[in-house]
């Protein structure tokens, strides 16, 4: 028996970024399964947003900053070039534009925004009943218990490659039989270097990721291993596994995207050549798989997979993340916000590479949060504001 169903409606937040553009690749290849109804971006390239809107015929187009009149004109130009006569989407401009797209009730909201600015859109998507395909790990990490309290079981589908891998590996066993989660890390461009050898590395070197092509923030976070620290907290929050049962192992090939070890000694791995197309496609239609979403492993040619322990002395960001994750409350928000400030300063060549995690640690050490049993968004935002300004003060004295 064949069944037909209408395509899932999808809102893409961060549509012009690495995750957003790959999501468009997936949805345009499967028009029978997905229909994009909204796109949002920061507004750095309104022409690209306009072109996406017209190509996908979305109902809502949003940018955080820019001019509504200019965006409308660019959409009009792109529509005329495409031979579209009557295309008049809703245009949203402003700090809350993505949140409004997220609140429109699409079947799936893919949050591919960078940074903790993605928190309110994440909350809006959950409140309005959409499935949240979550690439924007920062919103879960900073919002922690607030995000979890809003989400019904299964409403958040991880898009981050490691967490998508773990979610896939968890489908083969019972939760009570899980011994540990093993999160893989490429080790970044500076794998194997000592702390002393990291002192003078440049922003350009930090952006030369060995296996993934991604946006600037997450690529830099891979170089410092802050990304892996964030991912340990993300795994704890998504899968309710205590920190002491979440391991990190360095795997330079980025083929095994993470693993689950069960109590009988079996380890289940998810493996595919490094590509976000599979986790994005799963995020959009979990647990259904999109045919040929990405190239599979070729088992007819020889290959070598290496695994090695993380060097915590050279890369202390993961150990620090475990501490802030255990502390909970506003500590993860402070860790992330201080890091976002430091990464920008590093790319402006105001500070060195080692100053990033050293400053994050110093800001976290100064943070004095009461344990919040009922954490609120306002408390998170206040702690973030404090962390950002404290990090900036420290950086200007560095
Ligand atoms: N890229 C990857 O392979 C992976 C990414 N992730 C996570 O996914 C998220 C996105 O990463 P990535 O795609 O690499 O990042 P990019 O920098 O490539 O893209 C970020 C996107 O967010 C948009 N954006 C920025 N600020 C706002 C805002 N205030 N409102 C709405 N949109 C905004 C940007 O628009 P504009 O350019 O106009 O500013 C852009 O479209 C991050 O959380 C990252 O950690 C996780 C795993 C893998
Ligand atoms: C593709 C993806 O999920 C990234 O978050 C990735 O994890 C980055 O690679 P690292 O393992 O170097 O952090
Ligand atoms: Mn990841």
Domain spans of the chain? 8-158, 163-274+301-396
- Distance (Å, rounded) from C-alpha 78 to C-alpha 81? 5
Q: Is 10 in the pocket of ligand 2 (CB under 6 A)?
A: no
138 is in an annotated binding site: yes
Test site for ligand 1: of 38, 41, 65, most ligand atoms within 8 A of the Cβ: 41
127 alpha carbon to ligand 3 midpoint, in Å? 25
Q: Is 215 in the pocket of ligand 2 (CB under 6 A)?
A: no
Q: What is the pLDDT of residue 45?
A: 98
213 alpha carbon to ligand 2 midpoint, in Å? 10
Q: Report DSSP state, residue 374.
A: S
φ/ψ of residue 334, rounded to 5: -70, -45
187 alpha carbon to ligand 3 midpoint, in Å? 12
**Residue 189, class by beta-carbon neighbours within 10 Å (0-12 exposed, 13-18 middle, 19+ buried)?**
middle
Q: What is the pLDDT of residue 286?
A: 98
Ramachandran bin of 38, using left for φ above 0, alpha for ψ from -120 to 50, beta for the remaining angles: beta
Q: What is the pLDDT of residue 1?
A: 47
Residues 6+ apart with CB under 8 A from 223: 188, 189, 190, 201, 206, 207, 209, 353
Q: Is 218 in the pocket of ligand 1 (CB under 6 A)?
A: yes
**Three-state secondary structure along 43-92?**
CCCHHHHHHHHHHHCCCEEEECCCCHHHHHHHHHHHHHHCCCCCCCCEEE
127 is in an annotated binding site: no
- Distance (Å, rounded) from C-alpha 382 to C-alpha 385? 5
8-158: CATH number: 3.40.50.720
What sign for the dihedral angle of Cα 386, 236, 98, 279?
Answer: positive
What sign for the dihedral angle of Cα 247, 252, 258, 261?
Answer: negative
Q: What is the pLDDT of residues 139-148, one digit of tens each?
A: 999 999 999 9
Q: Is 20 in the pocket of ligand 2 (CB under 6 A)?
A: no
Q: Is 122 in the pocket of ligand 1 (CB under 6 A)?
A: no
Q: What is the pLDDT of residue 398?
A: 72
- Ligand 2 atom nearest the C-alpha of 254 is 11
- Distance (Å, rounded) from C-alpha 388 to C-alpha 58? 35
Length of the chain: 398
163-274+301-396: CATH number: 1.10.1740.10
Among 194, 224, 187, 179, smallest CA distance to 308 is for: 187
99 is in an annotated binding site: no
Test site for ligand 2: of 140, 183, 214, 311, most ligand atoms within 8 A of the Cβ: 214
Q: Is 278 in the pocket of ligand 1 (CB under 6 A)?
A: no
Indicate if 163-274+301-396 has the same CATH topology as 8-158: no
For the chain, the distance separating the N- and C-terminal CA atoms, rounded to the nearest angstrom, is 68
Per-residue pLDDT of the chain (398 residues; tens, 9 = 90+): 445 689 999 999 999 999 999 999 999 999 999 999 999 999 999 999 999 999 999 999 999 999 999 999 999 999 999 999 899 999 999 999 999 999 999 999 999 999 999 999 999 999 999 999 999 999 999 999 999 999 999 999 999 999 999 999 999 999 999 999 999 999 999 999 999 999 999 999 999 999 999 999 999 999 999 999 999 999 999 999 999 999 999 999 999 999 999 999 999 999 999 999 999 999 999 999 999 999 999 999 999 999 999 999 999 999 999 999 999 999 999 999 999 999 999 999 999 999 999 999 999 999 998 777 799 999 999 999 999 999 999 999 87
CA nearest ligand 2 atom 3, residue: 161
57 alpha carbon to ligand 3 midpoint, in Å? 31
Q: Is 99 in the pocket of ligand 1 (CB under 6 A)?
A: no
Q: Is 137 in the pocket of ligand 1 (CB under 6 A)?
A: yes
Name the residue with tokens 């404290």: 390
CA nearest ligand 2 atom 5, residue: 160
Q: In what helix (H) or strand (E) does residue 356 lie, and over which residues does it extend?
A: helix 353-366
φ/ψ of residue 263, rounded to 5: -65, -20
Residues 6+ apart with CB under 8 A from 99: 120, 121, 124
346 alpha carbon to ligand 2 midpoint, in Å? 20
Q: What is the pLDDT of residue 373?
A: 78
162 alpha carbon to ligand 3 midpoint, in Å? 5
- Ligand 2 atom nearest the C-alpha of 160 is 3
- Distance (Å, rounded) from C-alpha 45 to C-alpha 57? 18
149 alpha carbon to ligand 2 midpoint, in Å? 27
């Amino acid at each position: 028996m064949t069944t037909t169903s209408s395509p899932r409606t999808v809102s893409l937040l961060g549509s012009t970024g690495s995750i957003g553009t790959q999501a468009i690749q997936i949805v345009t290849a499967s028009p029978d399964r997905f229909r994009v109804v909204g796109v949002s971006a920061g507004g750095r390239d309104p022409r690209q947003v306009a072109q996406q809107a017209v190509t996908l015929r979305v109902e809502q187009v949003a940018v955080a900053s820019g001019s509504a009149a200019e965006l409308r004109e660019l959409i009009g130009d792109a529509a005329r070039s495409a031979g579209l006569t009557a295309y008049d989407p809703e245009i949203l401009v402003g700090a809350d534009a993505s949140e409004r797209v997220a609140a429109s009730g699409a079947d799936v909201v893919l949050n591919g925004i960078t940074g903790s600015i993605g928190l309110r859109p994440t909350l809006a998507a959950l409140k309005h009943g959409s499935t949240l395909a979550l690439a924007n790990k920062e919103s879960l990490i900073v919002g922690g218990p607030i995000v979890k309290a809003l989400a019904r079981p299964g409403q958040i589908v991880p898009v981050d490659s490691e967490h998508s891998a773990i979610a896939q590996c968890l489908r083969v066993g019972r939760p009570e039989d899980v011994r540990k989660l093993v999160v893989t890390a490429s080790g970044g461009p500076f794998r194997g270097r000592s702390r002393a050898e990291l002192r003078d590395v440049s922003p350009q070197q930090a952006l030369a990721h060995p296996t993934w092509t991604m946006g600037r923030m997450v690529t830099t976070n891979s170089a410092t291993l802050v990304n892996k620290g964030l991912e340990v907290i993300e795994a704890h929050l998504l899968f309710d596994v205590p920190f002491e049962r979440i391991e990190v192992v360095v795997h330079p090939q980025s083929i095994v995207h993470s693993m689950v070890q069960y109590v009988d000694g079996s380890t289940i791995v998810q493996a595919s050549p490094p590509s976000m197309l599979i986790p994005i496609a799963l995020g959009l239609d979990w647990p259904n798989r999109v045919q040929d979403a990405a190239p599979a492993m070729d088992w007819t040619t020889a290959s070598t997979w290496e695994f090695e322990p993380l060097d915590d002395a050279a890369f202390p960001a993961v150990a620090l993340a475990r501490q802030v994750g255990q502390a909970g409350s506003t500590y993860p928000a402070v860790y992330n916000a201080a890091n976002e400030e430091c990464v920008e300063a590093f790319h402006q060549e105001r500070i060195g590479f080692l100053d990033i995690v050293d400053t994050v640690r110093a800001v976290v050490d100064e943070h004095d949060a009461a344990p919040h049993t009922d954490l609120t968004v306002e408390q998170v935002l206040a702690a973030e504001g404090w962390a950002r300004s404290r990090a900036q003060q420290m950086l200007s004295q560095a």
